[in-house]
Amino acid sequence: MKMKLQKILSRLQKLHPKEIDLSLNRIKTLCEKLDNPQDKIKAISVVGTNGKQSTINAILSILKEANIKCNVYSSPHIQRINERFIFNNQELEDEKLADIFEEVEKINDNQQITFFEILSACYFYKAAQYTNNINLIEAGLFHRFDATNILKSNLASIVCSISKDHLDWLPKDQQTIEKIVFEKTSSLLNSNIIVSKQNSINTTKYIKKTILKNSSKKLFFNEDFSYSSGENGFFYYEDKFGGLKLPMPNILGQFQLENISTAIATLRLLDFNIKDDDIKNGITKIESIARLQEIKSGKLKELLKNNRLIIDGSHNEDGARVLNEYLQTLDCNKHVVIGMMANKDHEKYISYFKDISSLTTIDIPGQPNSISGKDLREKFKNISNVQYKESIEQAIKSIPLKENDLIIITGSLYLAGEMLNLN
């Protein structure tokens, strides 16, 4: 069955000469042939640069605890394309996924459409079968011309942290935060808008300006909801509905409290009749792949003995910033293994890392759009203790580790997937 699925995916990838071609026309045409399934679902849309998947994971975990069934559409996948297609709280298995792809492929009848667009149409087509489920839909590149932006209505739009990324898709004179904010928020639907913590006052100001005429009820972090770190394994959440004393989540990183707070604000606003205990229990059971994920078993972990291994798919400056904030809380030697895509600001990304003991650049296998590890090392040549190794295994074996040292593998979600598959 896996082979059948791979063959279908290979065909779908050839339906358009470009990987990305920002337009809504093709997916609208296909969805009309499918009887507009996107009009038949209950959706929460999630846009932004960083934190989208983590916020979705938090919402999903809380709703599971409340026995509310969810569908999730996200991108990209880390290890298997099935990760993008969650129905009734479970990844869709290969056979069912292949069936949907084949059915929609036939209806599309070889018309030009990008891979992401036809995947989005497949998701909507399947989601329409679950009329009572809550759909958590992650926007892809930007939002205004993103394939997910064909909903006529939704329950809410969540605006996660917005920062500079994918700048190569904008003209040189438009590569600004203000323009990115416009692309991500100017076409949000009129329902409810929940704005997460942003990394600057200006970003929040641009969001407010862009959505000024949107008639949605609007909640902003620090104005309408907030959190504060507590002691003894607790933190505190507060909004107009009252305060909650909550256990620390089962995932690493202070920034996750921001994402979790946004998730809670959304669910309380929408009034799904979720109990406080559902929230408390839900945030201790969040499943998170390649977001400060600690690897505690497997082939790679065995190479490290008593040393810690963490994988993080951050790949832009905001991701680097929050990752380094977490690393700064650790009292140990930190060794960074990094592979990146070619279109990223490599020097800016690595500039956020302070007090690292070694830096190893590597290739990302099977990714033609990645920068070679050798070229990446050249870009980082002013950093002390930088080296190049061809593979993850070689990199790990080459690092002179002392007891309790940490290795962090980062720079790309594609690299994270390779590493997890290898492990």
Number of domains present in the structure of the chain: 2
313 Cβ contact partners less than 8 Å away, ≥ 6 residues apart? 78, 290, 291, 319, 410, 412, 413, 415, 416
Name the token pair of 376.
Answer: 């990446």
239 lies in a domain? yes
Q: Could you tell me if 261 and 345 lie in one domain?
A: no
Q: What is the pLDDT of residue 303?
A: 85
Q: Could you tell me if 242 and 350 lie in one domain?
A: no
Distance CA(340)–CA(372), nearest Å, equals: 8
Q: Could you tell me if 247 and 138 lie in one domain?
A: yes
207 lies in a domain? yes
Q: What is the pLDDT of residue 368?
A: 86
- Work out the end-to-end distance of the chain between its first and last CA atoms, rounded to an integer number of angstroms: 23
Q: Which of 258, 282, 306 is the last residue of a domain?
A: 282
The per-residue DSSP string of 201-236 comes to HHHHHHHHHHTTT--SEEEEBTTTEEEEE-STTEEE
414 lies in a domain? yes
Q: What is the pLDDT of residue 1?
A: 64
The per-residue DSSP string of 45-92 comes to EEESSBSHHHHHHHHHHHHHHTT--EEEE-SS-SS-GGGGEEETTEEP
Report in angstroms the alpha-carbon separations of 97 from 34, 89, 103, 197. 17, 15, 10, 36
Q: Could you tell me if 170 and 243 lie in one domain?
A: yes
131 lies in a domain? yes
315 lies in a domain? yes
Q: Could you tell me if 274 and 310 lie in one domain?
A: no
Q: Could you tell me if 169 and 308 lie in one domain?
A: no
Q: Could you tell me if 207 and 150 lie in one domain?
A: yes
11 lies in a domain? yes
Q: Could you tell me if 269 and 192 lie in one domain?
A: yes
Distance CA(283)–CA(256), nearest Å, equals: 10
Q: Could you tell me if 174 and 95 lie in one domain?
A: yes
Report angle CA 238, 242, 246 to the nearest 5 degrees: 55
Q: What is the pLDDT of residue 104?
A: 98
288 lies in a domain? no
Q: What is the pLDDT of residue 33?
A: 98
Q: Could you tell me if 323 and 260 lie in one domain?
A: no
User: What is the full per-residue pLDDT of the chain (423 aa) written as tens digits?
Assistant: 678 999 999 999 999 988 878 889 999 999 999 999 999 999 999 999 999 999 999 999 999 999 999 999 999 999 999 999 999 999 999 999 999 999 999 999 999 999 999 999 999 999 999 999 999 999 987 789 999 999 999 999 999 999 876 556 566 776 788 989 999 999 999 999 999 999 899 999 999 999 999 999 999 999 999 999 877 889 999 999 999 999 999 999 888 999 999 999 999 999 899 999 999 999 999 998 999 999 999 998 888 888 999 999 998 888 999 999 999 999 999 999 999 999 899 999 999 998 899 999 999 988 888 999 999 999 999 988 999 999 999 999 999 999 899 999 999 999 999 999 988
Q: What is the pLDDT of residue 121?
A: 98
Domain range for residue 229?
Answer: 2-282
Asked whether the beta carbons of 79 and 423 are under 8 A apart, the reply is: no
Asked whether the beta carbons of 315 and 344 are under 8 A apart, the reply is: yes
Q: How many CB atoms lie within 10 A of CB 206?
A: 21
Q: What is the pLDDT of residue 142?
A: 76
Q: Could you tell me if 323 and 265 lie in one domain?
A: no
Q: Could you tell me if 327 and 266 lie in one domain?
A: no
CATH of the domain at 415: 3.90.190.20
Asked whether the beta carbons of 380 and 350 are under 8 A apart, the reply is: yes
Q: Which of 282, 311, 339 is the last residue of a domain?
A: 282
Q: What is the pLDDT of residue 169?
A: 59
Q: Which of 255, 282, 309 is the last residue of a domain?
A: 282
Asked whether the beta carbons of 150 and 37 are under 8 A apart, the reply is: no
Distance CA(124)–CA(52), nearest Å, equals: 19
287 lies in a domain? no
Q: What is the pLDDT of residue 416?
A: 94
392 Cβ contact partners less than 8 Å away, ≥ 6 residues apart? 300, 337, 362, 409, 418, 419, 422
| Helix H or strand E encompassing 182 | helix 177-185
> DSSP letter at 93?
P
Report angle CA 104, 109, 115 to the nearest 5 degrees: 60
CATH of the domain at 257: 3.40.1190.10
